[in-house]
Amino acid sequence: MTSYMGKLLLVNLSEGSAGPIEINPQIQELFVGGKGFGAKILFDMLPVGCDPLGPENIIMFMPGPLTGTIAPGMRGCVVTKSPLTGTFVDSYFGGHFAPEIRYAGYDGLVILGKSTKPCYLWIDDDKVEVKSAEHLWGLDTFEVNERIKDELGDKSVKIASIGPAGEKLVKFALISCEYNRHAGRGGTGAVMGSKHLKAIALRGSKVIKVMDQEAFDAAVARAYKELKGEPAIEGFNIGGTASSIDFANEEHLLPTYNYSQGTFEGADGLNAVAQRKHLWLRDVACAGCPIACSKVGKIRSGRYKGLISDIVEYETAAMVGSNLGIKDTREVIRLVKECDALGLDGISAGGVAGFAIEAFNKRLITLEDTGGLELSFGNADAVAYLFKIIAKREQGLGDTLARGVKEAAEIIGGGAEDFAVHVKALETPAWGPRSVPAMGLAYATADRGGCHQRAFPILYELGGTWKGKSVDRLGLKDKGEIVAYMQNYLAALDTLVKCDFAQYGIKGDTYCSLLSAATGRGWTIEGLQVMGERVWNLIRQFNAREGFERKDDTLPKRFMEEPLPSGPNQGHRITQEDLSKMLDDYYKFREWDTNGIPSEEKLQQLGLGSKDKLCQFKILTQNEWSGENEKFN
């Protein structure tokens, strides 16, 4: 009687077989679920140096032990080796797909191999079937969702799918996860495309139980009370993440014109007020979520009148809006919906388009490359053209940009690398770090490349305190410790899998109570921190064996060599000396060597050392199966 279903579903597309993987209880204790399970499987099973787009790569859909319960933790993650960065990647999604995995009876889906023809998986509780997707190949994510539901005769089926970008192996293709929820970062959609896997359809009827129902109900009630009493949560309910546009613009953190500036004169055309005026009609929530941060509506005026869309979140409003010089929220809504339909990560797509426009302005991309189209900031039609040719890898330019800004800059040359904004090849998100050094350190050391979800120390840098200690926004003191602590804590919560916004209301002790009551194992804040540190170090080991080290923990030239051009922190940047100092402090706090590699002592402390015999999932290679094998029906 725990919240675990007790098994994963393993599907081998090459062999046409599927079967359960029993989960060792020690795995549950040490890695919990979600990010932890994904990291452990990837480390154990993936051959070193494997091609991310080869059949030997593994793609996993991982919920957590709270997913599908009444607790506010309904999300899931996709884990694989990234074709964009070559690192570990975990990309998170909300909606209803992750709970359905659990209702079908599994704690996760693990997919290997490659189908000879386009296919989709139909998982109906214990029944697993591979179906042809040849008639679906080429359809966008919205079309394929509708078509599969019609085929199966059930509109309640939950679907994860890819669009044309995933089919064409665009390195920043996303997975659309039922409905307008996406595993966006790192090219997870390209991994599905490389396996000829167009979609996964799910239907489950099983019930999730918990160890101590009375204690669990009390912890859930406490979590809801904490959410209701937190002003930040009320802000998410009223304005979604789009309300962060004004905050970022005021603090000179808003990416503008390919990150060359930190403020945008048209920010008030992109914020929550503008979106409410032109689009929003009602609130929308993920399964069982009390926050309802999402909004849906129909554009009420202009040339896109009648277009139905979900909210444009802060990240995409900034990356496709201010970063590209587009002021009209209706244009951004149109562009983001096209990204979603084509299956492009909006953050990376905005970063790539900003890079391309600047390259055109610098005459590194020519009219001949664009088919005679002028690329310029503020030109939404030019951006739409870029998104289309990228998703379909049309023309030489579309194929080049489909590789991401790092590789595209190397191909284009002529100094293009100077304004290619990425960390470890992952286009950075919408928080310019030049006046918040800890945020720069968080980008540099994030396990999947430039990412704001591994740690968000901006809150402490602007707030001025951390654990009772004074924090200087522009200073370097304690920044390494702050980032490492946050990375450990959030890695732990990502094993649950938590809602990114609920964490601002729900206290750590409450998460411990939820997990303890659900699983029957006692959890404390200290235990969560150690578990998060274990997961973080395991992933660092994975990335290290793939060739990543200190030299890769760096920032783009735009953040290190070009000072902020305006604002109260005008002239500030993160120098190489600044970054080196923060890295030294960060590595020391983590007990890693000066090259950023975890020490044997630290690994042994966490049970990850070379002499440790940590339990493994029973499947060690693609040919070693546990339990009964089942051929596809």
Query: How far is 266 from 260, CA to CA, in rounded Å?
Result: 15
DSSP code of residue 545: H
Helix (H, G, I), strand (E, B) or coil at 308: strand
pLDDT tens digits, residue range 462-471?
999 999 999 9
pLDDT tens digits, residue range 124-146?
999 999 999 999 999 999 999 99
Reading the block at residue 247, the tokens are 């905050």
Closest Cα partner for 466 from 449, 484, 454, 450? 484
Helix (H, G, I), strand (E, B) or coil at 79: strand
- Asked whether the bond before 497 is cis by omega within 30 degrees of 0, the reply is yes
Cβ neighbours of residue 533 closer than 8 Å, sequence gap 6 or more:
488, 491, 606
With 80 as the cut, is the pLDDT of residue 631 above it? no
Domain 7-203 class, CATH top level = alpha beta
Cβ neighbours of residue 56 closer than 8 Å, sequence gap 6 or more:
46, 47, 50, 112, 622
pLDDT tens digits, residue range 245-271?
999 999 999 999 999 999 999 999 999
3-state secondary structure 381-393: HHHHHHHHHHHCC
Whether domain 239-427 has CATH 1.10.357.10: the reply is: no
Quick one: which H or E segment has residue 377?
A: none
Reading the block at residue 240, the tokens are 């979604």
Sequence ranges of the domains in the chain: 7-203, 239-427, 437-504+524-598
The average confidence (pLDDT) of the chain is 94
**pLDDT number for residue 4:** 97
- The count of C-alpha atoms lying within 13 angstroms of the C-alpha of 586, restricted to the half-sphere facing its C-beta, is 31
The whole-number average pLDDT for the span 523-535 is: 97
Measure CA 87 to chain center. Answer: 13
Whether residue 335 contacts residue 366, with contact meaning beta carbons closer than 8 Å, is answered with no
Q: What angle do CA 479, 606, 27 make, to 5 degrees?
A: 120
pLDDT tens digits, residue range 565-621?
998 899 999 999 999 999 999 999 999 999 999 999 999 999 998 665 555 554 433
Query: How far is 253 from 249, CA to CA, in rounded Å?
Result: 6
The whole-number average pLDDT for the span 40-57 is: 96
Report the relative pairing of strands 294-298 and 308-310 from DSSP bridges: antiparallel
- The count of C-alpha atoms lying within 13 angstroms of the C-alpha of 422, restricted to the half-sphere facing its C-beta, is 31
Closest Cα partner for 64 from 553, 589, 495, 582? 495
**pLDDT number for residue 611:** 61
pLDDT tens digits, residue range 309-343?
999 999 999 999 999 999 999 999 999 999 999 99
pLDDT tens digits, residue range 176-197?
998 789 999 999 999 999 999 9
Domain 437-504+524-598 class, CATH top level = mainly alpha
**pLDDT number for residue 609:** 80
